[in-house]
């Protein structure tokens, strides 16, 4: 059902008392700024403590009015009503090497406030002493869709993460010292489902995890050899938990199962130590060799504690269903890369890249499960207790070699040819023991397996220069790719790409096309005669154009089309019988956009854009039989925007604009929405450079 969402509009809209008050305050403030600016003298370079200062700040207000599904709107856009910051920055500059604490300091930020994401970046440097960079970001993620898992898989989290990197003696060619740290923190509520007793139950979840990284290293150049070495440690911690806030009968109304209480905790702690280094050297200006190595060791420990009370699908009382699992794992990973490029002539180049990747994972877990029940009459049933342990050892080795040759025939034509070979070997050792069952031929269960696999790929491409108008690039890859599942055959693929960039007077034109044909051969485990090959075909076309008919007018636009067909054989249990069927997915996605920017005189600027995305999906296709599934996601999304910028004086611009979003879902119209997002802002310039705007 479509519902008008007007709470923000009613409270903060122009029709409300508060909205009118805000508008009056903004108007009076604007008149005051204009009166002061009209009397301001000509600006000169602004200096503070010996630093030349240049700054721009923009802040404003966004209104919001959404009709339809606000949950879908927030899952897509999540723009809120209220105060927001736009691109703002400040720059302090001093003559190189003569600043008291720094020679340059640049701070920029955008998106904080009512936007779903924001960031702040700081760059500070003193020539010959240090260089410091910081980047702090925050993303507000919301997902609540009624057509996914009955609307029971939702999330409303805030993810804050930051990177801090410093270099001591940044201009020293022989040795530089590197320091760094990174932090990440994500938390927020949501919903998920727990499956038990042949039913599913919605439970609340509270996401809470954190990561911390610390790095130290050196880099430089000695006797023509570039080098670098970094040592770091990463800590991660997860305290997410799930719980039932009220008794629930489950999603299956015909099932006797119910949850009276539910609680699951999965505390996880881990630490990774890593070392990485590189060497690079050029010999006789013809041969360049680069080597890189990475070693990482990770230890992690996880526990699961889960309790359930209620009734099972046989209508027995479940007084307590308890799971206790303690697990641990260690992963050691080694990776090395060796690359060489030989400039045989100025027009002919040969390169080779060799990569080896190996890791070993050792892990085990102990399980203790106890089930206390009574029948429907209240008589206690036998307590079911299961204790077991499991151990796994996985050794993985993969190496790959890519050899390529590039030849520039003349100024108009060049080509390259390459060959990539990969080989993978996986050894797996398994030991599973059920401690509450007597020893037998299958208890403990011991498995040792080895699997090897190789792939081959041909790579080729050409570059054609079209005299003074532009160039055309074309490439093809054909071969096989490693499958992530060891018991499934390699992917067979053919990927072709062509793109061109052309310039005619004041018009720039870009065209590109791409085709991907991927095949995953496979067979049905119990009937090898059944062909279970999955086929995916993708066709993609993109174009864009930029036109500048005059200095004050810029026009750009583009169109892209994605055509996808996916075919997968499946097995469905129809009437209790395994029935072979098919699953097909189709995409027919059209996207177009137009942008225009016009500067009317020295004081007024106009910007307008229109974007539309429309996917026709499967069209009129339907499955002829119950076991033949046809799927797609037919929808349309429209988003026009207009913006006017008025230069009040050399220091202040006033901006006003309007954004509109319309989403239409053909299959689930309850998710449709329309949103109106008018906004206004002031952009203020400081410093002498304001005269040069």
**What is the count of structural domains for the chain?**
1
Instruction: Show the CA angle centred on residue 167, arms to residues 163 and 172, nearest 5°.
Output: 160
The pLDDT of residue 692 is: 52
Q: Is residue 607 part of a domain?
A: no
The pLDDT of residue 253 is: 85
Assign 3-class secondary structure to 386-441: EEEEEEEEEEEEEEEEEEEEEEEEECCEEEEEEEEEEEEEEEEEEEEEECCCCCEC
How far is the C-alpha of 298 from the C-alpha of 317, rounded, in Å? 43
Assign 3-class secondary structure to 191-224: EEEEEECCEEEEEEEEEEEEEEEEEEEEEEEECC
Q: Is residue 320 part of a domain?
A: no
Structure token pair of residue 175: 């040795």
Nearest CA among 613, 495, 509 for reference residue 562: 613
Q: Which residue in this structure is represented by tokens 């207009």?
A: 642
* Residue 16 CB partners (closer than 8 Å, separation 6+): 10
Distances (CA, A) of 544 to 465, 499, 549: 19, 11, 16
Q: Is residue 524 part of a domain?
A: no
How far is the C-alpha of 432 from the C-alpha of 364, rounded, in Å? 10
Q: Is residue 557 within 8 Å of 544, Cβ to Cβ?
A: yes
Q: Is residue 51 part of a domain?
A: yes
Q: Which residues pair with 215 in a beta bridge?
A: 180, 232
Strands 628-632 and 641-647: unpaired
Q: Is residue 446 part of a domain?
A: no
Stretch (H or E) spanning 250: none
For the beta carbon of residue 411, count every other beta carbon within 10 angstroms. Answer: 8
How far is the C-alpha of 350 from the C-alpha of 406, rounded, in Å? 6
Q: Is residue 677 part of a domain?
A: yes
Backbone conformation region of residue 58, classed left if phi is above 0, alpha if psi is from -120 to 50, else beta = beta
Stretch (H or E) spanning 307: strand 287-311
Alpha helices in 547-674 (DSSP H): none
For residue 87, the enclosing domain spans 1-126+641-693
How far is the C-alpha of 190 from the C-alpha of 206, rounded, in Å? 6
Q: Which residue in this structure is represented by tokens 């005189």?
A: 601
Phi, psi dihedral angles at 237 (to 5 degrees): -150, 130
Backbone conformation region of residue 97, classed left if phi is above 0, alpha if psi is from -120 to 50, else beta = left
Nearest CA among 463, 460, 459 for reference residue 414: 463
How far is the C-alpha of 104 from the C-alpha of 124, rounded, in Å? 6
Count Cβ atoms within 10 A of the Cβ of residue 362 and give its class: 0-12 exposed, 13-18 middle, 19 or more buried. middle
Nearest CA among 212, 299, 306, 195 for reference residue 261: 306
Q: Is residue 553 within 8 Å of 597, Cβ to Cβ?
A: yes
For the beta carbon of residue 573, count every other beta carbon within 10 angstroms. Answer: 8
For the beta carbon of residue 320, count every other beta carbon within 10 angstroms. Answer: 13
> Mean pLDDT for each 10-residue chunk of the chain (693 residues)?
41 44 44 44 62 90 96 95 90 80 92 92 94 96 89 95 97 96 97 94 96 97 95 97 95 92 97 97 94 98 97 96 97 97 95 97 97 95 96 96 96 96 95 96 94 94 92 96 68 94 93 94 71 91 95 96 94 85 95 96 94 95 90 96 93 95 95 97 78 52
How far is the C-alpha of 348 from the C-alpha of 338, rounded, in Å? 21
Q: Is residue 239 within 8 Å of 282, Cβ to Cβ?
A: no
Q: Is residue 319 within 8 Å of 308, Cβ to Cβ?
A: no
Handedness of CA 247, 250, 254, 258 (dihedral sign): negative
Structure token pair of residue 127: 């020539």
Q: Is residue 490 within 8 Å of 483, Cβ to Cβ?
A: yes
Distances (CA, A) of 647 to 34, 683, 684, 691: 11, 9, 10, 12
Residue 238 CA from chain centroid, whole number: 20
How far is the C-alpha of 340 from the C-alpha of 291, rounded, in Å? 9
Q: Which residue in this structure is represented by tokens 């877990």?
A: 365
Q: Which residues pair with 568 in a beta bridge?
A: 583
The pLDDT of residue 477 is: 96
The pLDDT of residue 34 is: 46
Nearest CA among 592, 573, 572, 569 for reference residue 582: 569
Structure token pair of residue 640: 């026009």
Q: Is residue 31 part of a domain?
A: yes
Global confidence as pTM: 0.86
**Helix, strand, or coil (residue 451):** strand
Q: How many helices and strands (H and E) does the chain possess?
A: 3, 36
Q: Is residue 309 part of a domain?
A: no
Nearest CA among 671, 674, 681, 672 for reference residue 643: 681
């Amino acid at each position: 059902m479509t519902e008008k969402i007007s709470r923000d509009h009613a409270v903060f809209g122009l029709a409300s008392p508060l909205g009118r008050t805000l508008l009056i305050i903004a108007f009076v403030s604007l008149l005051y700024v204009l009166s002061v600016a009209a009397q301001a003298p000509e600006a000169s370079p602004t200096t503070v403590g010996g630093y030349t200062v240049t700054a721009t700040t923009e802040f404003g207000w966004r209104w919001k009015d959404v009709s339809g599904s606000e949950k879908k709107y927030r899952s897509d856009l999540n723009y809120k009503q209220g105060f927001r910051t736009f691109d703002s920055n400040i720059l302090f500059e001093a003559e190189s090497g003569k600043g008291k604490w720094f020679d340059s300091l640049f701070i920029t930020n955008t998106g904080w406030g009512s936007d779903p994401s924001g960031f702040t970046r700081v760059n500070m440097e003193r020539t010959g002493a240090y260089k410091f960079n910081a980047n702090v970001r925050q993303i507000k993620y919301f997902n609540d869709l009624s057509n996914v898992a009955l609307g029971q898989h939702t999330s409303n989290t805030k993810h804050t993460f930051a990177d801090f990197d410093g270099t001591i003696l940044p201009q020293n060619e022989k040795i530089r010292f590197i320091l760094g740290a990174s932090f990440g923190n994500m938390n927020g509520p949501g919903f998920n489902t727990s499956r038990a007793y042949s039913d599913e139950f919605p439970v609340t979840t509270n996401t809470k995890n954190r990561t911390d990284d610390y790095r130290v290293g050196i880099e430089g150049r000695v006797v023509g050899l570039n080098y670098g070495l970094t040592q770091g440690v990463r800590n991660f911690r997860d305290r997410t938990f799930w719980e039932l806030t009220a008794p629930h009968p489950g999603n299956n109304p015909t099932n006797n199962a119910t949850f009276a209480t539910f609680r699951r905790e999965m505390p996880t702690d881990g630490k990774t130590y890593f070392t990485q280094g590189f060497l690079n050297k050029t010999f006789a200006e013809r041969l360049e060799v680069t080597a890189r190595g990475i070693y990482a060791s990770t230890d992690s420990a996880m526990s699961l504690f889960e309790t359930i009370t209620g009734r099972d699908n046989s209508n027995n009382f479940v007084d307590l269903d308890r799971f206790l699992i303690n697990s641990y794992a260690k992963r050691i990973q080694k990776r090395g890369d060796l690359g060489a490029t030989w400039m045989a002539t100025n027009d002919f180049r040969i390169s080779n890249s060799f990569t080896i990747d190996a890791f070993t994972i050792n892990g085990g877990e102990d399980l203790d499960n106890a089930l206390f029940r009574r029948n429907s009459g209240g008589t206690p049933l036998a307590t079911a207790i299961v204790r077991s342990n499991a151990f796994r050892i996985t050794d993985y080795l993969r190496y790959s070699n890519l050899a390529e040759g590039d030849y520039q025939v003349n100024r108009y034509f060049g080509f390259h040819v390459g060959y990539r070979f990969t080989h993978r070997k996986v050894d797996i050792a398994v030991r599973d023991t059920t401690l509450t069952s007597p020893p037998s031929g299958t208890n403990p269960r011991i498995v040792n397996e080895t699997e090897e696999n190789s792939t081959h790929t041909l790579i080729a491409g050409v570059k054609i220069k079209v005299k003074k108008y532009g160039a055309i690039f074309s490439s093809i890859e054909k071969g096989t790719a490693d499958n992530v599942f060891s018991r499934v055959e390699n992917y067979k693929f053919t990927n072709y790409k062509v793109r061109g960039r052309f310039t005619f007077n004041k018009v720039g034109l870009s065209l590109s096309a791409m085709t991907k044909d991927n095949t995953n051969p496979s067979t049905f485990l119990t009937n090898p005669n059944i062909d279970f090959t999955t086929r995916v075909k993708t066709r993609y076309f993109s174009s864009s154009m930029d036109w500048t008919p005059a200095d004050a007018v810029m026009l750009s636009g583009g169109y892209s089309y994605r055509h996808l067909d996916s075919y997968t054989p499946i097995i469905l249990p129809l009437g209790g019988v395994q029935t072979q069927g098919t699953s097909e997915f189709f995409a027919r996605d059209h996207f177009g956009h137009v942008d225009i920017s016009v500067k009317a005189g020295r004081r007024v600027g106009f910007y307008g854009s229109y974007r539309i995305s429309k996917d026709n999906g499967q069209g009129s296709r339907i499955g002829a039989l119950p076991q033949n599934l046809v799927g797609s996601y037919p929808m349309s999304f429209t988003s026009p925007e207009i913006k006017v910028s008025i230069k009040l004086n050399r220091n202040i611009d006033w901006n006003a604009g309007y954004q509109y979003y319309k989403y239409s879902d053909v299959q689930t119209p309850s998710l449709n929405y329309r949103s109106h997002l008018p906004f206004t802002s002031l952009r203020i310039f400081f410093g002498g450079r304001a005269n040069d705007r």
